[in-house]
Chain A
C-alpha cells in the first residue's frame, strides 16, 4: 500500500508545472451589508430561514426558558426527555425535574443502552455552541456530556441557542471562535433544520434518518 502512496505522490510531483493560480481571499463572496446585521436582524434572519425548513422557533428569556421548555414538552406529549445533567442548561432542567417528563441522562457509552436510545427516547435537549443567521444554522460541538447521537437519533431535537452567540456567517463564526487555533473537536456539526429528503420526485419529505422535528429555544 505504501507503494501506492509513493507512486501517486511522485506522479503528482512530476507534473507540478502549473503557474500559480489566483489566491483565494476569504471574504470576496460576501455582501458588505451583512457585516452590519445587528442582533435583532440576525435573530430575524435566523428565524426566517429556520421556519422555512419547518423548524420551530421559540423566544424566551433567561428567566422563563424553563417554562417555555416545559410547555413544549407538554404540547408534544413527550414521555421522556434526554438531557445532560452536567451542563449549565441541563442541570437547571434536572433541578426542576418534576416539571418535565421523565428525564434521562446519557451516562454510559452508546453500546450499553443503544436499544433504549434508538427505540425508547422521545426527545433530546442540548445546548449549542452558536448559530449562523445567514443560513439559519445551529453550531454543535458534541462532547462527553452531550454526545453526537443526542441531536441525531431521537425523533425530536430541542436545542437552546443564546442570541449573543448568533453569528452572521459561517466564515465569521469559525474565525471569531478561532477553530483552527483551538483545534477541531472529534465532530463539529452545522444543523439547519429537521432531517429531510427530496429524493422522490424532488418533493420535500421531513424526518428521514435524523430528527423529524427540530425545536430551537432562543434565549
Chain B
C-alpha cells in the first residue's frame, strides 16, 4: 500500500536537482549557524535560558494571554480569538469587508499558511499577494513553502529566472540574483503603495507591554505593517512571552540558529496603531490568536514542549531525512522534525501519524534546538501514542495499531522474558540460517540481505568462557 507521503517521497527523491538544492542550502545554513556559536558554553547557557523563558511563558499561558489582550487593547490593538483556521479566516474576511478591501499584501507568516488564508480569501474575491521574496516566488509557481524560514529553498536561480520570465515577459531574462531581486522590488513596491490591508505573522508577543515583535531581513514585514491603513497580525496562542526582557535572548538565539546571522536587518516592535499627530502607520491594528489544536497539545505535560518552538528551522536544516526528501514530501505546512511532531498532534495521528516514521532518531534536531525541545523523545512518544491501546490526549491515539503487529510484539515480549523459549528460538534460527532469503523485496533492491550468525550470542559467549551471569 503506497500512502500519499510515500508517494511524495519517491517522487521527490527522483528529482536530483531538488535534492542538490536542498543539500547545498542545508550545508550552508549548518555551517553559518556553527560560525555563530564559537563558544560552546555560551550556546548551551543561551539554550537553557531560552528554554526557561519559553517554558515559563507556557506555564502561565492562560494568564499571559489575558494580560496580552488587556495591554494590546489598552494600546488600541483589537484582539480576536479563533479556535479553528476557519474561524480565523472568517475574522480576517470580516475585517477586510468592513473596509471594503479587495486586496491585501502579506509579510511572511506560517500561521497564515496553516489557515490556508490565501486560498480562503481568494474564494471570497480577495487578491492576496505574498511580499517576502521567497513566498513571492512560490506563489508565482503555485507551490507551498518547502522550508519555514526559506520557503523557496528548493528552487535554483535558473528555476526562478524561468518563472519570472514566464510570469513577467516584459522583464528581460536574467539568472543574476541581484537583478531578479530588483525586479521583485519594483513589482512589489507598486503593490505596497496600493494595498489597503497588510497581513503579518508574529515572532514574539510580549504580554507585559502589549507588543508584537517581527523578525525579518527584507523590509516586507515593515512595509506590510506600516504602509497599509489596516494591519492584521495572525499568530498561534503559544507565541506569547511574559516580559520585554525575555525578548533579547530569544531574538539572539533565533537569528543565529535560523540563518546564522547575529541579528536580522529589522526587528520590528509594534505596540499600537497610528496615534494622533503621527503621520504614518496603520490606523487600525488587529491580532488574531489561533488555537488550532494547540490547547490540546498543552494538556499533555510531555508533549507541551512542542509549543516552546520559536520556528527557527534549525531542526530541518540538520535533519538527514528532510535534506533528502525535501520539504514538499511531508505534505504539511510545517515540514522536518518539528513538523513531524507538530502536525500529527494538530491533525491527529490518524491523519499524519505516518510522518512520525520520517526520522532516523539520529538526534541532531534535539541537539540543535534553541529551546531544547526533546524532538527525538517526542517522536518516540507519538509513535507509541499511535499504536497504544489505552487512552492519551493525542488526537488519533491507537489509530495506527495493527492487530498482527501488536500480536507479534506481544509474543516477542513474552518469548524474551522466558529464557528457555528464547534460547530455543534463537538456536533454531541459527541452525536454519542457510534458509534465510537473500531477496527481501524493496529492502534488498539497494542493500544486501542480513546474514544470520551460525551460533547464538549465548553460545559464543559460553565458548569464550564468559560466565552465565
Is residue A213 within 8 Å, beta carbon to beta carbon, of the partner chain?
no
Known contacts being A11-B299, A180-B244, is A208 close to B184, with CB within 8 Å? yes
Is residue B177 within 8 Å, beta carbon to beta carbon, of the partner chain?
yes
Q: How far is the CB of B346 from chain A (nearest CB, A)?
A: 14
| B25 lies within 8 A of A189 (CB) | no
Is residue B61 within 8 Å, beta carbon to beta carbon, of the partner chain?
yes
Is residue A98 within 8 Å, beta carbon to beta carbon, of the partner chain?
no
Is residue A197 within 8 Å, beta carbon to beta carbon, of the partner chain?
yes
Interface residues of B, dominant DSSP: helix
Give the residue name and chain of the B residue nearest to A139 (CB): B267
Docked complex Cα distance between A170 and B204 (Å): 16
Is residue A120 within 8 Å, beta carbon to beta carbon, of the partner chain?
no
Which residues 13-69 of B sit at the A interface, judged by CB distance below 8 A?
Answer: 21, 24-25, 28-29, 39, 42, 45-46, 48-53, 55-56, 58-59, 61-62, 65-66
Known contacts being A114-B193, A135-B262, A199-B133, is A4 close to B269, with CB within 8 Å? no
Q: How far is the CB of A78 from chain B (nearest CB, A)?
A: 19
Q: Which of A13, A20, A153, A183 gathers the greatest number of chain B CB atoms within 10 Å?
A: A153
Q: How far is the CB of A128 from chain B (nearest CB, A)?
A: 14
| B279 lies within 8 A of A110 (CB) | yes
Which residues 1-55 of A sit at the B interface, judged by CB distance below 8 A?
Answer: 1-2, 4-5, 7-9, 11-18, 20-26, 28-29, 31, 49, 53
Which of B24, B29, B151, B277 contacts A144, CB < 8 Å? B277
Give the residue name and chain of the A residue nearest to B27 (CB): A202
| A183 lies within 8 A of B209 (CB) | yes
Residue total for A at the interface (Cβ-Cβ under 8 A):
80
Is residue B388 within 8 Å, beta carbon to beta carbon, of the partner chain?
no
| A186 lies within 8 A of B281 (CB) | yes
| B263 lies within 8 A of A22 (CB) | no
Residues of A within 8 Å of B217, CB to CB, are 195-198, 208
| B56 lies within 8 A of A208 (CB) | no
Complex interface: stretch among A57-65, A67-75, A87-95, A171-179 = A171-179
Residues of B within 8 Å of A9, CB to CB, are 62, 65-66
Is residue B274 within 8 Å, beta carbon to beta carbon, of the partner chain?
yes
| A195 lies within 8 A of B218 (CB) | yes
Is residue B110 within 8 Å, beta carbon to beta carbon, of the partner chain?
no
Which of A11, A21, A109, A185 contacts B295, CB < 8 Å? A11
User: Which bracket fits the contact residues of B?
Assistant: 35 or more
Q: How far is the CB of A63 from chain B (nearest CB, A)?
A: 32
| A12 lies within 8 A of B61 (CB) | yes
Docked complex Cα distance between A174 and B267 (Å): 14
Is residue B150 within 8 Å, beta carbon to beta carbon, of the partner chain?
yes
Q: How far is the CB of A89 from chain B (nearest CB, A)?
A: 18
Docked complex Cα distance between A90 and B176 (Å): 39
| A24 lies within 8 A of B281 (CB) | no
| B133 lies within 8 A of A24 (CB) | no
| A184 lies within 8 A of B133 (CB) | no
| B80 lies within 8 A of A1 (CB) | yes
Residues of B within 8 Å of A4, CB to CB, are 81-83, 87, 291
Residues of B within 8 Å of A197, CB to CB, are 133-134, 181, 217-218
Residues of B within 8 Å of A169, CB to CB, are 248
Docked complex Cα distance between A189 and B185 (Å): 22
Residues of A within 8 Å of B182, CB to CB, are 207
Which of B153, B219, B247, B270 contacts A152, CB < 8 Å? B219
Docked complex Cα distance between A169 and B251 (Å): 12
Known contacts being A149-B226, A210-B218, is A191 close to B53, with CB within 8 Å? no
| B264 lies within 8 A of A192 (CB) | yes
Docked complex Cα distance between A21 and B66 (Å): 20
Docked complex Cα distance between A206 and B181 (Å): 8
| B227 lies within 8 A of A110 (CB) | yes
| A187 lies within 8 A of B226 (CB) | yes
| B39 lies within 8 A of A31 (CB) | yes
| B52 lies within 8 A of A23 (CB) | yes
| B245 lies within 8 A of A199 (CB) | no
| A202 lies within 8 A of B222 (CB) | no
| B251 lies within 8 A of A189 (CB) | no
Known contacts being A7-B83, A11-B296, A200-B152, is A207 close to B185, with CB within 8 Å? yes
| B29 lies within 8 A of A200 (CB) | no
Docked complex Cα distance between A197 and B296 (Å): 36
Is residue B170 within 8 Å, beta carbon to beta carbon, of the partner chain?
no
Residues of A within 8 Å of B298, CB to CB, are 11-12, 15
Docked complex Cα distance between A200 and B247 (Å): 29
Is residue A102 within 8 Å, beta carbon to beta carbon, of the partner chain?
no
Q: Which of A13, A26, A136, A190 gathers the greatest number of chain B CB atoms within 10 Å?
A: A190
Known contacts being A53-B265, A110-B279, A191-B266, is A180 close to B209, with CB within 8 Å? yes
Docked complex Cα distance between A184 and B56 (Å): 23
Which of B50, B59, B62 contacts A20, CB < 8 Å? B59
Docked complex Cα distance between A134 and B272 (Å): 28
Q: How far is the CB of B336 from chain A (nearest CB, A)?
A: 16
| B271 lies within 8 A of A186 (CB) | yes
| A186 lies within 8 A of B274 (CB) | yes
Which of B81, B160, B211 contacts A200, CB < 8 Å? B160
| B211 lies within 8 A of A184 (CB) | yes
Listed by A's residue number, 14 A-B pairs whose Cβ atoms lie within 8 Å are A8-B237, A12-B62, A18-B58, A136-B263, A147-B280, A180-B208, A187-B269, A195-B218, A199-B132, A200-B134, A208-B185, A209-B189, A209-B220, A210-B219
Known: A201-B25, A205-B180. 19 other contacts (CB 8 A): A1-B87, A8-B295, A9-B66, A22-B52, A53-B265, A118-B193, A148-B222, A174-B245, A180-B244, A186-B271, A187-B271, A189-B266, A197-B134, A197-B218, A199-B134, A202-B29, A209-B188, A209-B192, A210-B266
- B-side residues, CB < 8 A to A, are 21, 24-25, 28-29, 39, 42, 45-46, 48-53, 55-56, 58-59, 61-62, 65-66, 80-83, 87, 91, 131-134, 137, 150-153, 155-157, 160, 177-178, 180-182, 184-185, 188-189, 192-193, 208-211, 217-220, 222-223, 226-227, 237, 243-249, 251-253, 259, 262-275, 277-281, 289, 291, 295-296, 298-301, 304
Q: Which 4 pairs from chain A and chain B are nearest by CB?
A: A210-B219, A199-B134, A21-B55, A209-B219
